[in-house]
């Protein structure tokens, strides 16, 4: 099992609706593990996961709350344990009650935490992309302005 890239910005709103077990469960319509295994759609949804497959990875899931994405599921993998191993401080996992019974203030605090996680994750990805672009631009400039005529045939 491994981690994968994050959900796009357009899913931020949709993930906010995923406090509902039924909504999470609906995302598992093409889930490859249906019976005689630990990672059934019901167990995946109860552990906070949303199914977000790609063409090359049909078993990619993402926690709607902490945005931890996992792939490479095996039939014997327990979704709750795998989630706990990789994201032990996930606010959804540490929730002591059913999200449907949250008071308004509890929901807003949780939602604030979820959005903070999203902003940190997306900010980190943007910083990483910017660093990659700076590295490539620097490399191009060094090649372009090199004093070695063999490297700069102008």
- What pLDDT is stored for residue 117 in this prediction? 85
Cβ-based neighbours of 8, under 8 Å, separated by 6 or more: none
d(CA 124, CA 27): 27
Place of tokens 């490399």: 139
Residue 74 in tokens: 């095996």
pTM for the predicted model, two decimal places = 0.72
Average pLDDT over residues 135-153: 79
**b/e per residue 17-46 (b: at least 16 CB within 10 A):** ebbeeeebbebbeebebeeeebbbbebbbe
- For the stretch 45-72, pLDDT in tens is 999 999 998 888 889 999 999 999 999 9
Q: What are the domain boundaries of the chain?
A: 2-143
For residue 4, is pLDDT > 90? Answer: no
Q: Which fold has domain 2-143?
A: Inhibitor Of Apoptosis Protein (2mihbC-IAP-1); Chain A (1.10.1170)
Q: Which of 3-17, 53-67, 73-87, 134-148 has the highest mean pLDDT?
A: 73-87
User: 93 with 46: CB under 8 angstroms?
Assistant: no
């Amino acid at each position: 099992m491994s981690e994968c890239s994050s959900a796009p910005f357009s899913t931020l709103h949709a993930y906010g609706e995923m406090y509902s077990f039924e909504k999470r469960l609906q995302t598992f319509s093409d889930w490859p593990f249906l019976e005689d295994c630990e990672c059934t759609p019901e167990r995946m949804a109860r552990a906070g996961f949303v199914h977000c497959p790609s063409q090359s990875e049909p078993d990619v899931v993402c926690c709607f709350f902490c945005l931890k994405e996992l792939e490479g599921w095996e039939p014997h993998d327990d979704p709750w344990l795998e989630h706990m191993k990789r994201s032990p401080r996930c606010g959804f996992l540490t929730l002591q009650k059913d999200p449907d019974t949250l008071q308004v203030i509890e929901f807003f605090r949780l939602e604030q935490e979820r959005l903070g996680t999203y902003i940190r994750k997306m900010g980190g990805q943007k910083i990483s992309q910017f660093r990659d672009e700076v590295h490539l631009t620097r490399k191009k400039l060094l090649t372009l302005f090199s004093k070695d005529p063999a490297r700069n045939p102008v």
